[in-house]
Structure 1
């Protein structure tokens, strides 16, 4: 029964997202194209690894730390209003707490990876503890989505040899970043976040953008942040992985 309910919820969420997307006019930011990556232990994100094959002026929208019952729906609405697709890197503990919301994210056409189980500083953990955290987050992802996660982003972008090897062996892509907006300060305003985004875009010119859907100021600022991308002529590229 629970399985049937989950499928119904996912279908309804997809329908709602599709309906919103269909209502987007020519002035919407939109999603320019989709890159489908192999399920392999690749390493992307120019801040630490190889850059994705993006043209100048192309960006990938990514969000960490969710799903958040309070904030993720606001982010989803802003994305739907602009017909823009993103990738959400979810924590295992939040997947267990809010599985329906996680399925809604994917049901609305976004892709998902994991962002550890409890967001620890991995360098402070033993190898066994790091692997246990990975195991728990992968299990949570599989329980919610029925498949293994295709991608992983390190908490604080703090990579460790133990987890890099484990992810490579499991054919899980490591997704680092190219630019961010440092959106974890509770007192941040929409204007401040928009200024940071403009500055980061001017410096990088393309790449994977790190944001946080669990952060209240970010969720509130999303309509403005997407307008910044549109005003500056940036195109959104969506990441997906082979099934």
Structure 2
């Protein structure tokens, strides 16, 4: 029985390797970032150390019970890894799904607690929102959050200072596909991605795993990346001390 188990394990390993062959998009490499108050994404900050035609896949607003599993399947089918920026309220509602995201090899950060327009809030309210989202992350994953993306990319001085003090990376973006319109089709999203890639050439791509059209379109979007010769770089962070 022990020999049989070893043979089955070997076959499973071979199948996995075959599934991630050259016909798939795959994950080219992983960058492990320090847990520090750095900030990346050329729309607002410095660029990540990426070569031409290297992209980082990121998703906001989940986890979504309806759509995140579809996103995970599309990524698994192409052996591509991504970073998910999760809202605190969704972490509290779907903790098992959040843990599934990480268990499948992806990384996770936070995207506020309730996705407010932070500049309209008082400093105390902004910090309260951050504290709630950090607490939700720690309750689900058992560690401090390594990264934060501002809702609407609306940064504020009080939040930037708090994140830097907490050694939390600020993740802005380099390009997006503006995928929050319910009527968007797969063709429209693919065209937006194609145009963004041609303009930027590399960088962090913003998408939304909570958005139904995005989840539906993702298999096509990943094929666009493959067809255009782009390589996926995965972001991870050093383990918390």
Same fold? TM cut 0.5: yes
- Segments of 5+ residues of structure 2 without an aligned counterpart are 1-11
The alpha carbon displacement at 1:25 in A equals 2.5
- Show the counterpart of 2:73: 77
Q: Does 1:142 align with 2:138?
A: yes
Query: Map of 1:1-243 to 2, 5 A cutoff?
Result: 23-243=19-239
CA distance in structure 1 between the partners assigned to 2:21 and 2:212 by the alignment = 28
- Show the counterpart of 1:4: none
Do the aligned partners of 1:44 and 1:51 also contact (CA within 8 Å) in 2?
yes
CA distance in structure 1 between the partners assigned to 2:135 and 2:97 by the alignment = 17
CA distance in structure 2 between the partners assigned to 1:79 and 1:118 by the alignment = 26
What's the TM-score, normalizing by structure 1? 0.92
CA distance in structure 1 between the partners assigned to 2:203 and 2:74 by the alignment = 20
CA distance in structure 1 between the partners assigned to 2:45 and 2:19 by the alignment = 38
The alpha carbon displacement at 1:26 in A equals 2.0
Deviations 1:121-152 (A, max 9, x none): 00000000000000000000000000000000
- Segments of 5+ residues of structure 1 without an aligned counterpart are 1-15
Do the aligned partners of 1:21 and 1:80 also contact (CA within 8 Å) in 2?
no
Larger Rg over CA atoms: 2
Q: Report how many residues are paired.
A: 227
* Runs ≥4 residues deviating over 4 A: 19-22
Superposed CA RMSD:
1.4
- Show the counterpart of 2:6: none
- Show the counterpart of 1:11: none
